[in-house]
Amino acid sequence: MSAVLPDQHPDADVPLAVEGHRNPFATAPPMTLCANCGAVTEASNEGDDDEPIYMTEDVFCESCSATWRERWRRRERRQRRSAGSCSSALLSFEQVLNQAPPRWLIAGLVPEGLSVLYGAPGSFKSFLALDWACCVAAGIPWHGHEVEQGDVLYIAAEGAGGMKRRAAAWWDEHGRPDMSRWHLLPEAKNLLDDDAVHELKALVYEVEPVLLVVDTLARSMVGGEENSAKDVGRVVRALDSFARLPRLGIPFTDEEPPPDLNVLSRLVVHHTAKDGQVERGSGALRGAADLMVKTERIEGKSRTDVKCAYIKDGEEFPTITLEGRMLELEDGSTLALDLVPPLQAGVDRVDDLRLAVLKFVGEHGPVSRTQIEQGVSGLPAAIAQALDGLVAEGKLAEQRTGSKRGTRTYSLSVAPVTA
């Protein structure tokens, strides 16, 4: 017969304490110190009905346990009142009208909630995500847009190796502000894995950020399928679970527990599909998002257009053009993003479109306007304006086939234009 260990029941292999909770079937509870007042006690952190009063491994004396138990019950009642029944969650018409307006993390650009920043490789989407995150942490307006300053948790699921150069370049370019509120996790967390989500929740609780950046989605759902609405839905549910987390470790001296921790925004960096027009994978991500922002690289230039592809509540912001400027550092080179003035960006965009139209007509002409719209990237109205201007300048010749209202075709009236 084996000897009975001191931390086991004499009649069964059942420990007296499991994860800080005393076994009610044990006959000889171990002596320990109260985690709150330090008194020697045999009390556990269980209530009168053997129900754990809080998720903790600490043990408390009878007096402190009673205080803790009462606070826990008040918290339970408060949560039941707020979310325990459908009727308690109903709002009257007047209450809806009196609701606070939507809050913005970056005024006029990024609202609170779930935002998705997507683009093709090389479209500077990760540079933009880092730019936004650093401005929020430092409290620096982003090109005239005020930010709500707060802690930022940036999950670099890919490209963590280049983060040092990018962060150093941003810091130097912005006058080396205090960045104590910016935090980097240089590894991926699988949002489809419950254990990983639990670890990330603990990290979110510790940092208490106003912005959580996940860069990128693909590296944060390993083993899942981006085209699966079910898998994407699980990712969205995990991201939403970070939005409101209860604060743990409530001290006994407070009258009431602190308010729930609120992560105002979650920003997910994602890739485009093969056609480069929309985000890759299931539409469940767009359906759950409050904002969709697309970065689109301008061909032949170190520029990208930042476009509002969708916003749930609010007005779409106009296209913003950013230009990547090469910076040389001690350990390599990286990019800094500069804002291109809207007027200059508009002029350059028109010039680029006119050149694209001339090249297309020179290579395929005579062609109709419909063929040009299919072969040249641009809005139909902008292409029509470019065609009219090129015809008026004598660079394109316009012909009509058939009747007066027949199809118009275009061909070069000058030598072909080279890029």
Rounding to the nearest 10 degrees, give the CA dihedral for residues 330, 335, 339, 341: 100
Q: Which of 65, 120, 279, 263 is nearest to 183 (CA)?
A: 263
Rounding to the nearest 10 degrees, give the CA dihedral for residues 267, 269, 275, 281: -80
Q: Which of 107, 106, 211 is nearest to 151 (CA)?
A: 211
Rounding to the nearest 10 degrees, give the CA dihedral for residues 36, 42, 48, 53: 40
- Other residues' Cβ atoms within 10 Å of the Cβ of residue 214: 29
pLDDT reported for residue 366: 87
β-strands 113-119, 291-297 pairing:
parallel
pLDDT reported for residue 274: 85
pLDDT reported for residue 233: 96
Task: Give the residues across from 294 on adjacent strands.
Answer: 118, 307
Q: Where are the beta strands (DSSP E) in 139-201?
A: 152-156, 182-185
The CATH code belonging to domain 104-340 is 3.40.50.300
β-strands 261-262, 244-245 pairing:
antiparallel
Q: Which residue shows structure tokens 């930010």? A: 147
Examine residue 295 and say whether the peptide bond preceding it is cis (omega within 30 degrees of 0): no
pLDDT reported for residue 252: 36
Give the class (CATH, top level) of 344-412: mainly alpha
Residues of the chain with pLDDT under 50: 1-28, 43, 45-56, 84, 247-261, 415-419
pLDDT reported for residue 6: 41
pLDDT reported for residue 25: 42
Largest CA distance in the chain: 109
Residue-range domain boundaries for the chain:
1-99, 104-340, 344-412
Q: What's the pTM value of the predicted model, to 2 decimals? A: 0.66
pLDDT reported for residue 2: 43
